[in-house]
Amino acid sequence: MEDLDSRYERIIRLRSDPSTFYALLGMRVEKLEEGRSCMALPVEKKHLNAGGVVHGGALASLADASIAAALATLMDLQRESMITVEMKINYLAPVREGLVRAEGEVIQKGKSIAVGEACLYDAGGRMVAKATATFMIRQRA
């Protein structure tokens, strides 16, 4: 099994590919620890809906990504893969600008199911969303 440093490197590299959804939204990994991640989304005009507020889908994407990154730190990505089974997000306050930070955390990792959650904060440190996600873990063929 690869060591922690190369695992974290791989997690970040996969999420830095300029052709992927991470790049489209501008989400980036800021920090990884065992079972935890911090991801950031610098708000741009492209994230807003017609009302000038960041679209819920952008925050949901960030939440999902941060929980998945936290889970990835606990997995042997050469042997295991994950898929999101479901996600639930509560929006607590509208975001209009600045950096949104998501702190993802694994609550439980079983053999085939994992559950994690994310707290999203705006630039002023106010919690703007809270999400929970369930993943299925599969052995690669």
SS3 assignment, position 29: strand
Residues 6+ apart with CB under 8 A from 25: 41, 47, 58, 61, 62
Distance, in Å, from the CA atom of 50 to the CA atom of 120, rounded to the nearest integer, reads 22
Distance, in Å, from the CA atom of 12 to the CA atom of 109, rounded to the nearest integer, reads 21
**127: contact with its own copies by CB under 8 A:** yes
Compute the least distance from the CB of residue 42 to its own copies, in Å.
Answer: 14
Query: Which residues 39-98 are close enough to bind its own copies by CB under 8 A?
Result: 45-51, 53-58, 60-62, 64-65, 81, 83-94
Compute the least distance from the CB of residue 11 to its own copies, in Å.
Answer: 10
Q: Which residues pair with 1 in a beta bridge?
A: none
Compute the least distance from the CB of residue 112 to its own copies, in Å.
Answer: 7
Q: Residue from 6, 78, 112, 139 that binds its own copies (CB under 8 A)?
A: 112
Compute the least distance from the CB of residue 3 to its own copies, in Å.
Answer: 20
CA-CA-CA-CA torsion sign (33, 110, 140, 60)? negative
Residue numbers at the binding site for its own copies (CB under 8 A): 14-15, 17, 19-25, 45-51, 53-58, 60-62, 64-65, 81, 83-94, 107-108, 112-113, 115, 117, 127, 130, 132, 134, 136
